[in-house]
């Protein structure tokens, strides 16, 4: 990786992301790693709006906005066309939110990676339909308030494990990343760029507006998610080889939850239960990585 | 070279000759023969193209939108449920000004499952900004498909080539298949007016406020209008090379006809027989075959129906709560013409039911013996069912 | 929006401009800014050394620049890096994370590196002034005053009674703590700046009167040359001598014999110095202190090493009487008991009736010192007297200004406090000459480092340090997510067996590698060390790199005031304030 990779910029100022937007930080990092020979497929999500209205664009690379559910399919088409034109160098990047990945875009994603299309799919995860006003998605974590899971109806279903879904498709490379760990994220994006076939990055991108946190806490919360094992950093190659990238400090999950307004209704009992669930998942992951017999 | 081909194969030949570069396809009866042949051509190297075996029709169109935006010629085929599943993206393709060409095999919509011919599926897409051409036979299908690429790329609007399920898609006929060199002369390689290009980055399809959106849509409307003229130009060029021409409409014996049938697709072929028969018996009857449906050739229709007293529109489709769709469109074209012919609408052949010469003759006699239409559209050939009118 | 700029032939949703025309700075209600603050170590250092910056430069391998940063505030890095009691480490924020940074060792490393490579410092000097200043006493206070006055452009003559300059540094502290060439290097450096030192020139009251005609100011920093009395019977016996005299003789190259047992009364560094020197001369040392070991003012590490070297310690005893008994001395000791605590130290009173006797061969007193001559004391209650934290300034109706400093005026008698005194004297004199007496207090006030009495010459001379926010950074303000636990470097030393053989320096060198690893542990509290976190995390690409001092600035056209830069700055070098509309 060239040492000045952090210096190059592919996002313009003046975009309309919220103050402290984690998705914007994620975009900056990924594009730094991928470079200028990148074409982005952008299904409906916050970034569809962040790029700015016609005739403005906040991105220095070509972007094709796509219908909500078509992230995987549109990218397949772009890739096919580029290959026909003899361009095998340009990276095709789908940049989708959790809604367009876990829910409505699930089919197209599964179809595209089943065909092992040569593209990189990045899901930046702010854990709800933020662009339309904080509605619940299957990526919303257990315990969260959203505008469609209010009061006592807070989400009592676990977050869908999209990474394991992609692992099951046995694609060459799947990884999680967090905006609080830029070096790790850049390395993974770079690695994805150099791998042929389907690649998937699941990036944790804090949302101050939707999570009810102060804008200056975006990175801190993202760091805590990793440190509490709620969002472990790991990679899976060829659907089989797990590598855990960060053995965290194992903070208690309540430290993470109590900082966010979207979790303020949780009781100590709820938090204990969640701690158990997180511990369980972490043990399972360690097992897959060969750290447990 | 003359070959005996299925309608689907005729489509495939045209796609091969047009040197399409990216094809995406999802199987649905009765489109499958089109894509199977194309898949084989790609594998055997007879076509230099990427064939994407997508996982739904919606993804099919999405992939083509992506591919065409990246600057290559694309094609797909679908039918019935598949077409309706694509609906969102049909609007997208035209809004994005992409010259995608698609073969659409008219098929009835579920429930219940019905794989036979019905035009409701393609007509339900009439607002999507796609150019629509309804074909009668195999030759017309091949020729129209070739012309479709040139037309689409001229006005930057997508084009649908429509053929009846089974009656056309699976019927073998002699078809003249042109040589590659001849086609190359008629249809040059795709020269995109815009494309995704890392050397000139921009955003395709961003947020557009009320400030600009209306003008963009107006430009699509203008492109559709321009398509009328281009259609004629392209047909003329085609005729000059291949000596075949079809027109946006085809008027058969309309100059002195009192009653004119308006038909589309294979029903036209049956109607031609009925016409011969009726004329032999001294009836002043004509046929106006509707071929180009979008843009709607209103001027041509008004011209050809100048002297008609009555018009019998045969719709193999229906817009619930209104009437047969072709009938509606024709009424709209004629409503401001003083002394325009009375328009009788008839619905026949829904869900693949046979449209026989007898049925067409019944339509003729009903039209002739009625002064005014009883209803917007009369459903023909219905069986007795409980609670039916 | 000028449609003419649109390169597309069709009017369709295709962009052709960037969002840079959208100045999102208008969204802001909080405004971040670069705001370097004060580190607790530098605020605690009596010389106000810019420690956070020193460590930052060392980490970057800029040893010369780091060393020069010390010299701005303290001309004795070789000395202080060896003998300073390093109060800085006691306030180091890192101690709350794992362990304090080894600032003391690092200072020594930087000084030694400069010596090793013969580096000459590039010091900023003001243009020459007409005034001349005489300094009496070439100890740390006097020499520091001369150094700083020279920086400020004044001609300085230093008068030293002994044959060589250095004061207690030359004639008091033993070689195993402060080797001669280390001291000589720092002194030569002071001379190289333009200071003239006259050795062998004691200044009696008559000489002083003559000098007053030639100089615009006289800085008296003779120190405390005379020991304090124990006020016990038998004190005047010849076997009872001053610890400081013993050390002086050693430094003069005479080896005063001390076979048998030498009792040393006292608990300060001088007492320890004497005890450990006795051991090295082959004698036995018995250290007698009136309070507990933890109350001893000497450096803890010195006490520890003394005990390792075989010095005996008796706590809670005070001398009551001295008598001769044949060849030996009998020292009657009064046992003390603890009567309470004040300021963390025990308050002791005699344990009535409990005494014991010690049979020794001689007694060394190390219970404190005072000025040799009365003229060396600042006059009390004179008019025109200005008492500052480390100096006293007396301005009469005629004649030069008299300034008293060093041990004569300092509450805490240490090398670094002497340096502070010299600096304060230089600043006070310069302000007096340029602006007048009334300007001294406010001008010096403006040069404070943090909230204490430490002053910075760098600030005084108008360099960038003056822009620092005086707020002292607390541990809670450090973002510790960016630091890992790293053990503190261990200062290598001679083994105990090796130590007692000679007066060789005990502390050994550390490598540049180890030094940099240690300096990297420094949080650089309040200082920007160019880690680039602000640049990395800004969602609006509003941190722009440039070639200015800060190497970056905030583009307020676009900054939305999210505050991420401020929170992710590991060292609180930024601040968030209200956006004024």
pLDDT tens digits for range A164-200: 999 999 999 999 999 999 999 999 999 999 999 999 9
Half-sphere exposure of C143 (CA within 13 A, CB side): 32
- B213 and B141 part of one domain: yes
Pick from C15, C23, C542: CB nearest A56? C15
Nearest CA in chain A to C538: A25
For testing contact with chain B, the best of A80, A83, A106, A132 (most B CBs within 10 A): A80
Chain B CB contacts of A61 under 8 Å are 198, 201
d(CA B369, CA C142): 131
Contact call for C11 and B216, based on CB within 8 A = yes
Same fold, C47-121+470-520 and C235-370: no
In a domain, B16, yes or no: yes
Q: Which band of pLDDT confidence, cut at 50, 70 and 90, is reported for residue C205?
A: confident
Mean predicted confidence (pLDDT) in B1-25: 97
CA angle A164–A165–A166, rounded 5-degree value: 90
pLDDT digits (tens, 9 = 90+) for B325-368: 999 999 999 999 999 999 999 999 999 999 999 999 999 999 99
pLDDT digits (tens, 9 = 90+) for C400-412: 899 999 999 998 9
Contact call for B95 and C13, based on CB within 8 A = yes
Poorest-confidence range of B245-254, B285-294, C366-375, C469-478?
C366-375
Poorest-confidence range of A42-51, A240-249, B243-252?
A240-249
Nearest CA in chain C to A205: C539
Interface of B with A in 340-379 (CB under 8 A): none
In a domain, B230, yes or no: yes
Chain C interface includes A20 (CB < 8 A):
yes
In a domain, B25, yes or no: yes
Contact call for C12 and B96, based on CB within 8 A = yes
Chain A CB contacts of C16 under 8 Å are 55
Q: Which band of pLDDT confidence, cut at 50, 70 and 90, is reported for residue C575?
A: very high
Chain B CB contacts of A36 under 8 Å are 198
Q: Which CATH number fits domain C235-370: 3.20.20.140, 1.10.10.1800, 1.10.510.10, 3.50.50.60?
A: 3.50.50.60
Q: Which band of pLDDT confidence, cut at 50, 70 and 90, is reported for residue C550?
A: confident
What is the greatest pairwise CA distance in chain A? 59
- B237 and B255 part of one domain: no
Structure confidence at residue A292 (pLDDT): 62
Contact call for B206 and C15, based on CB within 8 A = yes
- Show which of B242, B263, B287 is a domain's final residue: B242
Nearest CA in chain A to C480: A220
pLDDT digits (tens, 9 = 90+) for C248-290: 999 998 888 889 999 999 999 999 999 999 999 999 999 999 9
- B193 and B127 part of one domain: yes
Please give the tally of structural domains in chain B.
2
Whether C244 shows a pLDDT value over 60: the answer reads yes
CA-closest candidate to residue B104, choices B143, B133, B128, B129? B133
CA-closest candidate to residue B312, choices B265, B256, B369? B369
Mean predicted confidence (pLDDT) in A64-92: 97
Chain C interface includes A216 (CB < 8 A):
yes
CA-closest candidate to residue C483, choices C572, C574, C570? C570
Whether C562 shows a pLDDT value over 70: the answer reads yes
Assign residue B17 the CATH number of its domain: 3.40.50.970
Chain C nearest CA to A53, separation (Å): 8
Mean predicted confidence (pLDDT) in C315-340: 92
Whether A2 shows a pLDDT value over 70: the answer reads no
Nearest CA in chain A to C576: A216
Whether C175 shows a pLDDT value over 70: the answer reads yes
Pick from A11, A19, A22: CB nearest C541? A11
- B304 and B367 part of one domain: yes
pLDDT digits (tens, 9 = 90+) for B161-205: 999 999 999 999 999 999 999 999 999 999 999 999 999 999 999
In a domain, B369, yes or no: yes
- B204 and B344 part of one domain: no
Whether C29 shows a pLDDT value over 80: the answer reads yes
Chain B CB contacts of A31 under 8 Å are none
| Two structure tokens written together for B133 | 């051409």
Contact call for A219 and C13, based on CB within 8 A = no
Buried b (16+ CB within 10 A) or exposed e, B208-232: beeebeeebeeebeebbeebbebbb
Whether A293 shows a pLDDT value over 60: the answer reads no
Contact between C306 and C287 (Cβ < 8 Å): yes
| Two structure tokens written together for B40 | 């084989």
Chain A CB contacts of B198 under 8 Å are 36-39, 61-62, 90
Chain A interface includes B202 (CB < 8 A):
yes
Chain C interface includes B51 (CB < 8 A):
no
d(CA C89, CA C103): 7
Structure confidence at residue C342 (pLDDT): 83
Domain boundaries, chain A: 3-288
Structure confidence at residue B253 (pLDDT): 97
Pick from A13, A51, A182: CB nearest C542? A13
Mean predicted confidence (pLDDT) in B72-96: 98
Nearest CA in chain A to C561: A19
State the burial class of residue A137 (Cβ atoms within 10 Å of its Cβ: 0-12, 13-18, 19+): buried
Structure confidence at residue B389 (pLDDT): 57
The answer to ipTM > 0.90 is yes
Q: Does domain A3-288 have CATH number 3.60.40.10?
A: no
A vs B, Cβ pairs < 8 A, gives: 157
Contact between C504 and C176 (Cβ < 8 Å): yes
Structure confidence at residue C9 (pLDDT): 80
pLDDT digits (tens, 9 = 90+) for C403-436: 999 999 998 999 999 999 999 999 999 999 999 9
Mean predicted confidence (pLDDT) in C318-340: 92
Q: What are phi and psi of C421, to 5 degrees?
A: -65, -45
d(CA C330, CA C342): 33
Architecture of domain C132-225+384-448: 3-Layer(bba) Sandwich (3.50)
d(CA C106, CA C458): 21
In a domain, B334, yes or no: yes
- B272 and B315 part of one domain: yes
Contact call for C11 and B156, based on CB within 8 A = no
- B9 and B53 part of one domain: yes
Chain B CB contacts of C13 under 8 Å are 95-96, 204-206, 208, 216
Whether B90 shows a pLDDT value over 70: the answer reads yes
Chain C interface includes A12 (CB < 8 A):
yes
Chain C interface includes A197 (CB < 8 A):
no
Chain A nearest CA to B321, separation (Å): 31
Interface of B with A in 228-287 (CB under 8 A): none
Q: Which chains touch A (3 or more CB pairs under 8 A)?
A: B, C
- Show which of B242, B262, B292 is a domain's final residue: B242
- B46 and B153 part of one domain: yes
- B102 and B54 part of one domain: yes
Residue C515's alpha-carbon distances to B101, B245, C106, C174, in angstroms, are 71, 90, 6, 26
Chain C interface includes A15 (CB < 8 A):
yes
> How many residues make up chain B in this entry?
389
Chain C interface includes A248 (CB < 8 A):
no
Contact call for B205 and C13, based on CB within 8 A = yes
- Show which of B242, B258, B278 is a domain's final residue: B242
**Mean pLDDT for chain A?**
95
d(CA C347, CA C478): 38
Q: Which band of pLDDT confidence, cut at 50, 70 and 90, is reported for residue C368?
A: confident
In a domain, B385, yes or no: no
Question: DSSP readout, A150-205?
Answer: -GGG---SPPP-HHHHHHHTT-SEEEEEETT-HHHHHHHHHHHHHS-SEEEEEEE-
- B220 and B283 part of one domain: no
Chain C CB contacts of A24 under 8 Å are 539-540
d(CA A84, CA B73): 10
Q: Which CATH number fits domain C47-121+470-520: 1.10.1060, 2.60.120, 3.40.50, 1.10.150?
A: 1.10.1060
Domain boundaries, chain C: 47-121+470-520, 132-225+384-448, 235-370
* Residue A215: DSSP 8-state: G
Contact call for A20 and C563, based on CB within 8 A = yes
Chain A interface includes B24 (CB < 8 A):
yes
| Domain enclosing residue B290, as ranges | 250-379
Chain A interface includes B74 (CB < 8 A):
yes
């Amino acid at each position: 990786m060239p040492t000045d990779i952090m210096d190059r910029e592919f996002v313009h100022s003046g975009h309309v992301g919220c103050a402290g937007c984690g998705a914007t930080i994620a975009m900056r990092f990924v594009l730094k790693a991928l470079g200028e020979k990148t074409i982005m497929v952008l299904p409906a999500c916050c970034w569809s709006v962040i790029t700015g209205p016609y005739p403005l664009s906040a991105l220095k690379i070509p972007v094709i906005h796509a219908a909500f559910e078509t992230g995987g399919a549109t990218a397949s088409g772009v890739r096919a066309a580029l290959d026909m034109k003899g361009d095998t160098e340009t990276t095709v990047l789908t940049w989708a939110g959790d809604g367009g990945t876990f829910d409505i875009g699930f089919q197209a994603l599964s179809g595209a990676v089943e065909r092992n299309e040569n593209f990189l799919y990045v899901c930046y995860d702010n854990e709800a339909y933020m662009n339309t006003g904080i509605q619940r998605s299957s990526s919303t974590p257990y315990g969260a308030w959203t505008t469609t899971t209010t009061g006592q109806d807070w989400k009592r279903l676990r977050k869908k494990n999209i990474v394991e879904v992609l692992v099951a498709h046995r694609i060459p490379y799947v990884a999680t990343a967090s905006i609080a760990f830029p070096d790790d994220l850049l390395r993974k994006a770079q690695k994805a760029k150099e791998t042929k076939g389907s690649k998937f990055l699941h990036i944790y991108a804090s949302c101050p507006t939707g999570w009810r946190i102060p804008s200056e806490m975006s990175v801190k919360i993202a760091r805590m998610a990793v440190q509490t094992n709620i969002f472990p950093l790991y990679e899976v190659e060829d659907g089989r080889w797990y590598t855990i990238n960060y053995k965290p400090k194992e903070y208690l999950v309540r430290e993470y939850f109590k900082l966010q307004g979207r979790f303020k209704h949780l009781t100590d009992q709820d938090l204990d239960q969640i701690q158990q669930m997180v511990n369980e998942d972490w043990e399972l992951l360690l097992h897959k990585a060969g750290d447990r017999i | 070279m003359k070959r005996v081909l299925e309608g689907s194969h005729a489509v495939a030949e045209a796609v091969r000759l047009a040197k399409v570069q990216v094809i995406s396809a999802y199987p649905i009866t009765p489109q499958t023969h089109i894509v199977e042949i194309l898949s084989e051509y790609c594998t055997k190297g007879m076509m230099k193209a990427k064939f994407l075996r997508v996982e739904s029709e919606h993804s099919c169109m999405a992939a083509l939108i992506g591919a065409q935006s990246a600057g290559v010629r694309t094609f797909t085929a679908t039918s019935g449920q598949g077409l309706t599943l694509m609906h969102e993206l049909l609007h997208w393709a035209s809004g994005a000004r992409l010259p995608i060409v698609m073969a659409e095999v008219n098929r009835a919509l579920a429930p219940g499952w019905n794989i036979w011919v019905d035009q409701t599926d393609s007509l339900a897409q009439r607002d999507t900004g796609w150019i629509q051409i309804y074909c009668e036979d195999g030759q017309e299908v091949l020729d129209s498909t070739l012309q479709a690429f040139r037309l689409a790329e001229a006005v930057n609007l997508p084009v649908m080539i429509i053929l009846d399920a089974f009656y056309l898609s699976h019927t073998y006929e002699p078809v003249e298949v042109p040589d590659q060199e001849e086609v190359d002369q008629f249809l040059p390689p795709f020269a995109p007016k815009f494309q995704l290009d890392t050397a000139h980055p921009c955003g395709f399809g961003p947020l557009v406020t009320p400030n600009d959106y209306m003008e963009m849509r107006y430009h699509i409307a203008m492109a559709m209008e321009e398509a009328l003229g281009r259609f004629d130009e392209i047909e003329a060029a085609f005729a000059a090379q291949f000596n075949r021409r079809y027109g946006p409409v085809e008027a058969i014996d309309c100059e002195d006809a009192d009653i004119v049938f308006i038909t589309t697709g294979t029903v036209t072929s049956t109607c031609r027989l009925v016409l011969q028969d009726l004329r032999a018996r001294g009836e002043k009857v004509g046929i106006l075959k509707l071929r180009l449906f979008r843009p709607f050739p209103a001027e041509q229709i008004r011209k050809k129906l100048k002297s008609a007293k009555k018009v019998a529109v045969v719709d193999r489709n229906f817009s619930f709560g209104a009437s047969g769709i072709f009938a509606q469109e024709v009424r709209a074209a004629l409503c401001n013409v003083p002394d325009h012919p009375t328009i009788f609408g008839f619905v026949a052949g829904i869900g693949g039911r046979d449209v026989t010469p007898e049925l067409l003759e019944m339509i003729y006699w009903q039209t002739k013996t009625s002064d005014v239409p009883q209803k917007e559209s009369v459903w023909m050939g219905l069986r007795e069912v409980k609670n039916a009118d | 929006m000028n449609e003419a700029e649109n390169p597309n032939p069709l009017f369709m949703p295709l962009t052709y401009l960037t969002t840079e025309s959208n100045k999102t700075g208008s969204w802001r209600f909080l405004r971040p800014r670069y705001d370097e603050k004060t580190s607790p170590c530098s605020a605690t250092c009596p010389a106000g050394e810019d420690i956070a910056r020193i460590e930052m430069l060392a980490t970057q391998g800029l040893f010369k620049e780091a060393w020069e940063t010390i010299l701005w505030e303290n001309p004795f890095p070789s000395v202080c890096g060896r003998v300073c009691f390093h109060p800085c480490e006691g306030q180091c924020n890192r101690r709350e994370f794992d362990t304090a940074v080894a600032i003391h060792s690092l200072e020594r490393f930087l000084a030694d590196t400069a010596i090793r490579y013969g580096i000459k410092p590039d010091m900023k000097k003001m243009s020459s002034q007409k005034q001349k200043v005489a300094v009496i006493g070439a100890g740390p206070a006097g020499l520091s005053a001369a150094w700083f006055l020279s920086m400020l452009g004044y001609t300085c003559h230093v008068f030293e009674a002994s044959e060589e300059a250095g004061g207690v540094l030359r004639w008091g502290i033993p070689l195993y703590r402060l080797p001669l060439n280390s001291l000589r290097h720092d002194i030569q450096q002071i001379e190289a700046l333009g200071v003239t030192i006259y050795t062998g020139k004691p200044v009696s009251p008559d000489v002083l009167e003559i000098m007053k005609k030639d100089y615009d100011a006289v800085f008296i920093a003779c120190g405390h040359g005379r020991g304090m009395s124990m006020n016990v019977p038998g004190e005047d016996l010849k076997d009872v001598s001053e610890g400081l005299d013993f050390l002086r003789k050693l430094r003069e190259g005479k080896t005063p014999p001390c076979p048998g047992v030498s009792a040393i009364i006292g608990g300060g560094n001088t007492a320890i110095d004497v005890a450990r020197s006795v051991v090295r001369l082959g004698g036995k040392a018995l250290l007698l202190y009136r309070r507990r070991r933890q109350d001893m003012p000497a450096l803890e590490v010195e006490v520890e090493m003394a005990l390792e070297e075989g010095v005996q310690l008796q706590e809670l005893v005070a001398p009551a009487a001295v008598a001769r008994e044949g060849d030996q001395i009998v020292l009657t000791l009064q046992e003390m008991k603890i009567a309470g605590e004040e300021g963390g130290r025990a308050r002791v009173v005699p344990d009535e009736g409990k005494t014991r006797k010690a049979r020794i061969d001689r007694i060394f007193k190390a219970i404190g010192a005072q000025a040799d001559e009365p003229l060396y004391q600042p006059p009390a209650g004179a008019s025109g007297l200005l008492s500052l934290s480390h100096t006293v300034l007396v301005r009469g109706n005629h004649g030069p200004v008299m300034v008293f400093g060093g041990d004569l005026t300092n509450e805490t008698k240490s090398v670094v406090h002497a340096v502070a005194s010299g600096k304060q004297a230089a600043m006070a004199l310069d302000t007096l000459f340029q602006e007048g007496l009334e300007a001294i207090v406010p001008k010096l006030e403006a040069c404070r480092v943090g909230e204490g009495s430490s002053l910075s010459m760098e600030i005084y001379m108008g360099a960038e340090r003056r822009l620092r926010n005086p707020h002292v950074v607390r541990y809670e303000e450090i973002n510790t997510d960016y630091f890992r636990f790293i053990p503190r470097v261990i200062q290598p030393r001679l083994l105990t067996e090796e130590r007692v053989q000679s007066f060789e320096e005990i502390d050994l060198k550390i490598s540049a590698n180890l030094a940099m690893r240690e300096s990297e542990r420094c949080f650089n509290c309040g200082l920007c060390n160019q880690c680039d976190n602000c640049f990395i995390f800004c969602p609006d690409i509003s941190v722009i790199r440039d070639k200015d001092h800060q190497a970056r600035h905030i583009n307020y056209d676009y900054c939305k005031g999210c505050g991420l830069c401020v929170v992710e700055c590991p060292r609180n070098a930024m601040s968030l304030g209200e956006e004024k509309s």
